Amino acid sequence: MQKRFFIITAILLFLATETSANVTLFTFSDDHGEVWVSGNMVTRYENWDWFKPSRHPNSNNDYDYYFIRSRLGLGVKFKMVEAFLQMQDTHVWDLPNDSLSPAPEGPLGIGAVYYAHRRNGNSHGTFVKQAYLRLDDVLLDGLSLKAGRFDYSDGLEVTYDNPKVMWLKKVRLSERMIGPFGWSAFTRSYDGGQVIFDKDLFNITTMVSHPTEGGFENDGHHQINDIDLVAVTLTAKYNKIIPHTENRLFYFFYDDERKMNKVDNTPAGSGLNRGNIEIHTLGLHSLSTLELGPGVGDLLLWGTGQWGSWGKMSHQAWAWAAEIGYQFTGLPTKPWIRIGYFLSSGDSNPVDSEHETFFQLLPTARRYAFFPSVSRAISRRVWPARGSPPSWKMNVLTPGSPNSPARAHRASGSSSTASPI
């Protein structure tokens, strides 16, 4: 066992890599524009030892697989116009064909989830990852239009040069509700349009789209037409209105008209969850930093409320998170200590007319739980962390909210036209 551990560790050091490059091919005269190419390659090996399932022919809980994901992009940009095309090719090898355990155990690890989508031990997909046209300063200074296929990460509508603020936004705020699911082999994109109004003090971003297939599904080219997504965000920029603080108000609308069983706690055959899902999500976040003593402290608050319908039931849910940290910037390695708390609602009565389990729409799984099958629905977590930036965390996770026997929804959102919620 010890020998195997060291072999796997060595393989991970060599294979769990990501390489990116951007090269300018041509610059137009008087700096009026440029043409560039971009490349990205991710290689990852995974070994799974999935608890101790029941003994039956499909109970293989110990396996490994690996994938290589390559992207090549070509872009051209002028003063007011930008066009970008990016292709993605992904190969996944050695997926297990004997790890789909009967209910209630289900897939025994993420390799089994990949296999369940195509029933093939080697999965491959080549498709258009991004293809969009962007127009800047349309009619008004700061007004931009973007249309086509693109990535979208909620919480990253505004970026800064401040590395500490960007680490907090990327690692602790972004993609909690909507993201490209970049951790997965195939990822996802969004087909639609964006309207962006960006000024010195604030940013307003509106996005209307359909998500594409992807994530665990190898055919990431097709969009999921039965899911409509709307996002509207208003960001008061960091250190512009309130010193050393960014505040953001967001609204999301999720409409899912696919006809399939939903993962929830309603009794089989009750029919309570039959019908569409329509969820409105309203929330906010606040991020602050403060120079204090020999370092810099930070405070992060995030919260949201939901209402709408879940099949024949009304939907009402909520979630919130609070985190505080302090980084000793004057010490070697600049150690950073953080502690946080997360809480979300669950459903206490599976046979009434209300669905109260928090639903996280289309997030990037694993960003907030290194165990990628953990959902942020019906959960309570407290985690201390240290590092530079934080390198480890401890999650104390309950199986539901304080009063809830509800089952968690899938942690990553829908990945195909046929995958359950």
- Residue-wise pLDDT tens digits, 78-113: 989 999 999 999 999 999 998 888 877 888 888 998
Give the pLDDT confidence score for residue 171 in this predicted structure.
92
Give the pLDDT confidence score for residue 39 in this predicted structure.
96
**Does 7 reside within a domain?**
yes
**Bridge partners for 282 per DSSP:** 251, 305
Beta strands 354-355 and 336-344 are unpaired
Q: Convert the pLDDT of each residue in 135-172 to its tens digit.
A: 999 989 999 999 999 999 999 999 999 999 999 999 99
Q: How far is CA 241 from CA 89, 175, 202, 244, in A?
A: 44, 24, 9, 9
Give the pLDDT confidence score for residue 74 in this predicted structure.
97
**Does 385 reside within a domain?**
no
Give the pLDDT confidence score for residue 348 in this predicted structure.
85
Give the pLDDT confidence score for residue 303 in this predicted structure.
97
Give the pLDDT confidence score for residue 37 in this predicted structure.
96
Number of domains in the chain: 1
Q: Cα 111–114–115 angle (5° rounding)?
A: 85
**Does 171 reside within a domain?**
no
**Does 409 reside within a domain?**
no
**Does 403 reside within a domain?**
no
**Does 64 reside within a domain?**
yes
Q: Could you say which residues of the chain have pLDDT below 50? A: 1, 5-6, 9-10, 12-13, 386-409
Nearest by Cα to 90 from 119, 116, 47, 128 = 128
Domain that holds residue 125: 1-135
Q: How far is CA 47 from CA 3, 7, 22, 141, 385, in A?
A: 14, 11, 32, 51, 25
Query: Hey, what are 276's tokens?
Result: 């569409």
Query: Hey, what are 233's tokens?
Result: 């965000």
The pTM of the full predicted model, rounded to 2 decimals, is: 0.86
Give the pLDDT confidence score for residue 153 in this predicted structure.
96
**Does 118 reside within a domain?**
yes
Give the pLDDT confidence score for residue 1 in this predicted structure.
47
Query: Hey, what are 260's tokens?
Result: 């399939």
**Cβ contact 189:217 at 8 Å:** no
**Does 29 reside within a domain?**
yes
